[in-house]
Amino acid sequence: MDKTFQPQDIEQRWYQHWEKSGYFKPGSEQSKSVKADSNNAYCIPIPPPNVTGSLHMGHAFQHTLMDVLARYQRMRGKDTLWQVGTDHAGIATQMVVERKLAAENGQTRHDLGRDEFVKKIWDWKEESGGTITQQMRRLGDSVDWQSERFTMDEGFNAAVQKVFISLFDQGLIYRGKRLVNWDPKLQTAISDLEVENKDSKGHMWHLRYPLADDICTAEGKNYLIVATTRPETMLGDTAIAVNPNDPRYKNLIGQYITLPLVDRKIPIIGDDYADMEKGTGCVKITPAHDFNDSEVGKRHDLFMINILNKNGTIRTTAEVFDHKGNLSNQFDPSLPKEYADTDRFTARKTIVADLDALGLLDAVKEHELSVPYGDRSGVVVEPLLTDQWYVDAKTLAKPAIEAVEDGSVKFVPKQYENMYFSWMRDIQDWCISRQLWWGHRIPAWYDDKGQVYVGQSEADIRSQHSLNDTVTLTQDEDVLDTWFSSALWTFATLGWPESTDRLKTFHPTSVLVTGFDIIFFWVARMMMMTMHFIKDENGKPQVPFNTVYITGLIRDEQGKKMSKSKGNVLDPLDMIDGISLDALIEKRSGNMMQPQQREKIIKRTKKQFPDGISAHGTDALRFTLVALASTGRDINWDMNRLEGYRNFCNKIWNAARYVLMNIEGHNCGADGLSEYELSLPDKWIVSRLQQIESDIKKHFDNYRFDLASQSLYDFIWNEYCDWYLELSKPLLAEGSVDQQTGTRRTLVRVLETILRLAHPIMPFITEEIWQSIREPAGIDGNKRENDTIMLQPYPEADSNKIDADSLTDIDWLKAIIVAVRNIRGEMNISPGKILPLYLKNGNSDDKARFKKIELYVVALAKVGQITWLSAEDATPPAATQLVGELEILVPLAGLIDKNSELERLNKEIDKRSKEIARLNGKLTNANFVDKAPADVVEKERQKLAEAEDAKNRLETQYTQLREMDR
């Protein structure tokens, strides 16, 4: 074995072995002895990453937690499936390929045409689709690769079709002309969730709209003033609203104003939406370009005038619709030609200038407002009137809300349930059509008259509706929102709409691990779709998963979100393999959208990683992520933690090295027949192991990964390595043959158990070491089930193995050794120097007890001659430590400076005095003594007595020492 742990030598080798051996498959599909039974099944559906993407730290985090759960449950004997797959990620993928096309030969997707372009995307998927799956292998993800799915594979496509068609037939999907969030750059509708509102500074323009028919306001003005942040929309105004109770204007209701620039006569209406307190009390109403106005329009049967092209420029001629969305000739649709085809923001300036020239610009004010941006395109989105497909979300949401209310689905941490409820209880219909080319084409066809038919194929529809060839059918150009297909993820991946064994065994799945940012996008929609389509044998809706574990976000060391544009992204693989500074800089600053950031990023990267990043290995990365995973809070990434846990891996490695060196060629009881004797340290470490096992189980079952890893770390480093391995040294050197066998047996078996405990978190190092110690630990490596640690049983605590005396004895032993070490440390005595030791004030029990531990004290505290002194004996000049009643004395004898010992004693006495004062304060308080529980008071009394006794003895020692050898 190498002196240090070299992760790069072992990781990929073991992963390939596991994968090749089929160990990631569910147990029921590996061996006939495991029956497929939904009661013993454990399934995690992976949140499908973008097929053309790559892993970031957030993935690494979530994947690690999922893998910990999967490996843990698999070892506990659950029939475990971690379902893997990728998402076609509509807009994101289409954009990537469009950019690639543009960069390579300056083409747009329109140059290629739809079929050719979609083919290009499939090509790109073939080329880049392997990246993320390769990265997952490096992370050690124990997913079932053989059943990997893609949201556009054949079976999935069938599921999507079936869901769409059924929902349409049930009246839960409909088509309608409505306002949607329109992205003028990508030229597609997007959902509310894909809109990012950003605060920005803008202007509020106050416009004068002349009253028609020579009427005047109560104040005698012949115009109304409206205010707007988007003056260009005035071209589409179809009313002015005032509050029906507003004394200033209520007599004008039913009258008209003349809309400037377009010379349109539009009504003044009364609506509560107009707030008398706000602005001038008059609101321009543009139902085709504002969501609130659209609602007002519906209440008053207003016409809707669309003035924008799909690319965000002003139309040459407006589109006029009546309140039902039918084309209308009520108004002259012509628009001033000087704005035609100019961008909305250019038009804004021109229109303001033109109104100003007409004397109709009353005021311009600075204004803070939030502006909606498309999260993908980064441009301002526009409410636009278009024909789109919608899902009746309210109907579907009802059972989905109930499932969380009645606890069928639990969120961890629980507070996210509120987030879920608040959104679900106020849910809007879901716009599912997207004007993209990449995605599931909507299975709808139109005839010449615009009549819509929904069905699996054109042929199906023709036969179903008896349409002959004289009727031309054209398929809807649009595709479905990506989240429409991912909403079917839990059951479509298991084979639905076929009725498969996997669906029966693994659905509902056990736990979904995901980020809070997609609770709405994904979690809620999976709930709705699954409960609508998947029923159990009694016809009761099935939930998609029983538990939703919400993770926090991984941020950079300053708590900032990691993003490409900030240049603070860390690649999990760089943590594993390491990366040079130059390569890291290239990665962070190359191919930047905003080159001006480049220098800044380079500078910061150089400062933060002057030597690049060294290799830490997958296990260290995973352990770090697990250790930081406390419930649902964000993680500020800390390279120092990673380094600490790399050292921890090395610690385990060397502990194993020690064990191997000491069992090699010796009997360690593997045959189960040899005589052996367990010594005090053996009994102790076995007892502690049981306690740790039950702690870890508790923590895993509560999803407290951080506490589980902490328990493991503490036990391995601070107990097994620091104490047990050290205690084993004198035993192996001086113990009897049976004792040596007992210790070797314990050394290797506890190590073997530790490896199994740690395996879900650190799969590679545990497998590597386990392979070399399984035989001495008494495991028959020739049996197939013993080929790998990943299929071994997870350790379970056995309270019969806890020896209570060993726990108190070792605590006492530790206290004595620490006392000597403390004197040594504080007096700057070299650790190797053998010290004589006096023990004073020990009772007969202490003496008997000390006999049991003398061997270890001598070895670990490096003491030579040990002399017991009775209470009456004169104490030699010595440094003193108290262990309960017992006084530990190290003679000064030229080793120790008297004054520093006096100083040290003083410090100790001082400490005791403070404690005594505190306890006295408490105990003289009648309220405390009367009202606190008796055992609490008694405890405090005892502490006081002990502190007083200790103080007295330290003071005696102090006086004696000071008097000596003056």
Partner RNA sequence: ACGACCGUAGCUCAGUUGGUUAGAGCAUCGCCUUGACAUGGCGGGGGUCGGUGGUUCAAAUCCACUCGGUCGUACCA
The 10 Å Cβ neighbour count of residue 149 is: 21
Buried b (16+ CB within 10 A) or exposed e, 265-294: ebbbbbbebbeeeeebbbbbbbbbbbeebb
Q: Cis omega (within 30 of 0) on the bond before 26?
A: no
Among positions 116, 169, 501, 638, the unique one binding RNA when judged by CB under 7 A? 638
CB atoms inside a 10 Å sphere around CB 123: 11
State the minimum distance, in angstroms, from the CB of residue 713 to RNA.
Answer: 7
Q: Judged by CB, which is closer to RNA: 581, or 944?
A: 944
Buried-state track 88-106, b at ≥16 Cβ within 10 A, e below 16: bbbbbbbbbbbeebeeeee
Binding residue (CB under 7 A) for RNA from 84, 274, 584, 954: 274
Comparing CA positions, the residue from 111, 112, 109 lying closest to residue 96 is 109
Stretch that binds RNA, among 166-174, 440-448, 895-903, 931-939 (CB under 7 A): 931-939
Binding segment toward RNA, per CB under 7 A, in 77-85, 92-100, 625-633, 870-878: 625-633
Of 824, 840, 951, 953, the residue at the interface with RNA (CB under 7 A) is: 824
Residue 954 CB, nearest approach to RNA (Å) = 13
592 or 932: CB nearest RNA:
932
Nearer to RNA by Cβ, of 125 and 651: the residue is 651
> Where is 42: in which H helix or E strand?
strand 41-45
334 phi and psi, to 5 degrees? -70, 145
Instruction: Give min distance, CB of 707 to RNA, in A.
Output: 6
Does residue 924 bind RNA (CB under 7 A)?
no
Residue 186 tokens, joined: 């990508």
Binding mask 213-252 toward RNA (x if CB under 7 A, else -) reads -------------xxxx-----------------------
Q: According to CB under 7 A, which residues from 298 to 357 bind RNA?
A: none
Quickly count: other Cβ atoms within 10 Å of residue 200's Cβ: 12
Give the burial class of 511: count Cβ atoms within 10 A of its Cβ; 0-12 exposed, 13-18 middle, 19 or more buried: buried
Q: Residue 699 CB, nearest distance to RNA (Å)?
A: 9
CA distance 543 to 431: 23
Q: Which residue in the set 706, 948, 949, 955 belongs to the binding site for RNA (CB under 7 A)?
A: 706
- Which secondary structure element, helix H or strand E, spans residue 826, and what is its range? helix 804-826
725-744: contacts with RNA (CB under 7 A): 725-726, 729
For residue 695, the tally of other CB atoms under 10 A from its CB is 18
Rounded Cα gap, residues 285 and 730, in angstroms: 90
Q: Is 928 in the site for RNA (CB under 7 A)?
A: yes
Distance from C-alpha of 604 to C-alpha of 162, rounded to nearest angstrom: 52
> Binders of RNA among 349-368, rule CB under 7 A?
367-368
Nearer residue to RNA within complex by CB, 471 or 818: 818
Of the residues 220, 594, 927, 934, which one makes contact with RNA according to CB under 7 A: 927
Site for RNA in 828-847 (CB under 7 A): 828-832
* Start-end of H helices in 633-679: 639-663
Residue count, binding to RNA (CB under 7 A): 90
- The distance of closest approach from Cβ of residue 577 to RNA in the complex, given in angstroms and rounded to an integer, is 14
Residue number with CB closer to RNA (101 or 259): 259
Q: DSSP secondary structure string, 269-309?
A: EE-TTS-TTSTTSEEEE-TTT-HHHHHHHHHHT--EEEEE-
Segment 188-217, which members bind RNA (CB under 7 A)?
192-193, 197, 204
Cβ atoms < 10 Å from Cβ of 801: 12
If one asks whether residue 718 binds RNA (CB under 7 A), the answer comes out as: yes
Q: Which is nearer to RNA, 164 or 958 (CB)?
A: 958
Q: Are the C-beta atoms of residues 833 and 823 closer than 8 Å to each other?
A: no
Near RNA by CB under 7 A: residue from 932, 941, 955, 960:
932
**Is 666 near RNA (CB under 7 A)?**
no
Among 281, 312, 681, 876, binds RNA (CB under 7 A): 281
Annotate 626-647 with b (16+ C-beta within 10 A) or e (fewer).
bbbbebbeebbbebebbeebbe
C-beta closer to RNA: residue 772 or 828: 828
955 binds RNA (CB under 7 A): no
Q: Which is nearer to RNA, 354 or 726 (CB)?
A: 726
Minimum Å gap between C-beta 933 and RNA is 5
Write the binding mask 399 to 428 for RNA: x where contact by CB under 7 A, - elsewhere: ----------------x--xx---------
Q: Which residue has the tokens 């073991």?
A: 14
Q: Does 952 bind RNA (CB under 7 A)?
A: no
- 753-783 b/e with 16+ CB inside 10 Å = b? bbbbbbbbbbbbbbbbbbbebbebbebeeee
Using CB under 7 A, pick the residue from 255, 710, 786, 960 that binds RNA.
Answer: 710
Residue tagged 């002015």 (tokens): 240
SS3 state of residue 704: coil
Please name which of 14, 40, 15 lies closest in space to residue 27, comparing C-alpha atoms: 40
Candidates 329-337, 483-491, 759-767, 923-931 — which segment interacts with RNA by CB under 7 A?
Answer: 923-931
Looking at residue 174, its amino acid is Y
Among 918, 923, 949, 960, binds RNA (CB under 7 A): 918
**Region from 15-23, 268-276, 337-345, 404-412 binding RNA, contact rule CB under 7 A:** 268-276
Determine if 859 is a binding residue for RNA (CB under 7 A): no
Task: Indicate the residue among 498 and 903 with the shorter CB distance to RNA.
Answer: 903
Applying CB under 7 A, does 665 fall inside the site for RNA?
no
Restricted to residues 503-562, the positions that interact with RNA (CB under 7 A) are 557-559, 561
